[in-house]
């Protein structure tokens, strides 16, 4: 479990900010976007506070996964998984986890009760590394649960899981960052900032597209890919009036609103 705690710790504001703030100034995708853009203070609150409920949720999921694994997966199978080469375990983990992410992410866009949680993430109107943290804790815990529980149940080695979490975490920050980083031909293989920025676009042709977190292959297979290399969206966010502060955003999914329906 230490690597899960390390993951929660890793996201310390100073280190991440020291890397991403200069990067976004040097290679901005949208040069006119300010570092202290709209709602940055609210997203700092997410950055600092959200790790507590999410960290607790992830620990519980890890325990649940391990218990289910011990109860239902033969010990020989778990040992065989852990004995595979490190690189193979990491590749399988990444692909396996991203498939789970694709399915659950798509459900969050499809089922109105789930969308109300996910709408918080899509309320971002200016994307950057900090905006990546604006996620309702229940959205994050349920989405991660879909991947963490089977991963822990199947018995991957601790070092492979640590590498997976590290790659996943940093990739998520890069995806949201206001950076002009193209992945060249790998654009079709690994999700780029451009790929995920289109997921956040307030353009009807891009709604319900690009659900994959790391590998566009899932969107390509299931017909939800919106592969644009030449341009970024001109508008981000949703039409729905999501409140502007952390506390009110956490309560938002529990308040009834007749007009709240999945958009993005
Ligand atoms: Zn989404
Ligand atoms: Zn996002």
Bridge partners (DSSP) listed for residue 179: 28
Distance 78 CA to ligand 1 centre (A): 33
pLDDT of residue 227: 86
Distance 116 CA to ligand 2 centre (A): 15
- Which ligand minimizes its atom distance to the CA of 213? 2
Distance 200 CA to ligand 2 centre (A): 6
Q: Global pTM?
A: 0.89
- Tokens coding 96: 């396996």
- Tokens coding 8: 């929660």
Q: How far is CA 100 from CA 105, 250, 262, in A?
A: 8, 24, 20
Distance 210 CA to ligand 1 centre (A): 8
pLDDT of residue 257: 66
Which among 130, 127, 124 is positioned nearest to 178, based on CA atoms? 127
- Which ligand minimizes its atom distance to the CA of 110? 1
Chain centroid to CA 31: how far?
A: 24
Q: Phi/psi of residue 236, each to 5°?
A: -120, 160
Distance 36 CA to ligand 1 centre (A): 24
- Which ligand minimizes its atom distance to the CA of 191? 2
- Which ligand minimizes its atom distance to the CA of 128? 2
pLDDT of residue 74: 93
Distance 199 CA to ligand 1 centre (A): 7
Q: Per-10-residue mean pLDDT for the chain, 264 residues long?
A: 48 78 90 86 90 90 91 93 95 93 96 95 93 94 88 92 90 91 85 93 90 95 89 90 92 75 58
d(C-alpha 50, C-alpha 52), whole Å? 5
- Tokens coding 229: 């290399």
In the chain the beta strands, taken as DSSP E runs, fall at none
pLDDT of residue 262: 60
Distance 236 CA to ligand 1 centre (A): 12
């Amino acid at each position: 479990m230490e690597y899960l705690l390390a993951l929660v710790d890793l996201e310390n504001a100073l280190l991440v900010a020291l890397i991403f703030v200069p990067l976004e100034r040097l290679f901005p995708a949208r040069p006119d976007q300010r570092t202290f853009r709209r709602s940055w203070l609210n997203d700092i609150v997410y950055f600092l506070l959200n790790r507590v409920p999410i960290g607790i949720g992830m620990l519980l999921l890890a325990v649940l996964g391990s218990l289910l694994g011990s109860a239902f997966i033969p010990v020989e199978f778990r040992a065989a998984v852990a004995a595979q080469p490190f690189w193979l375990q990491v590749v399988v983990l990444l692909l396996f986890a991203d498939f789970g992410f694709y399915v659950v992410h798509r459900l969050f866009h499809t089922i109105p009760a789930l969308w109300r949680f996910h709408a918080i993430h899509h309320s971002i109107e200016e994307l950057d590394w900090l905006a990546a943290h604006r996620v309702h804790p229940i959205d994050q815990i349920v989405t991660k649960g879909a991947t963490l529980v089977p991963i822990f149940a199947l018995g991957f080695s601790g070092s492979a899981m640590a590498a997976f979490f590290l790659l996943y975490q940093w990739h998520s920050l890069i995806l949201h960052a206001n950076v002009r980083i193209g992945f060249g031909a790998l654009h079709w293989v690994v999700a780029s900032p451009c790929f995920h920025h289109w997921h956040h676009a307030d353009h009807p042709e891009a709604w319900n597209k690009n659900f994959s977190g790391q590998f566009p292959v899932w969107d390509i297979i299931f017909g939800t890919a919106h592969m644009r290399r030449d341009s970024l969206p001109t508008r981000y966010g949703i039409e729905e009036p999501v409140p502007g502060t952390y506390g009110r955003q956490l309560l938002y999914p529990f308040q009834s609103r007749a007009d709240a329906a999945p958009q993005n």
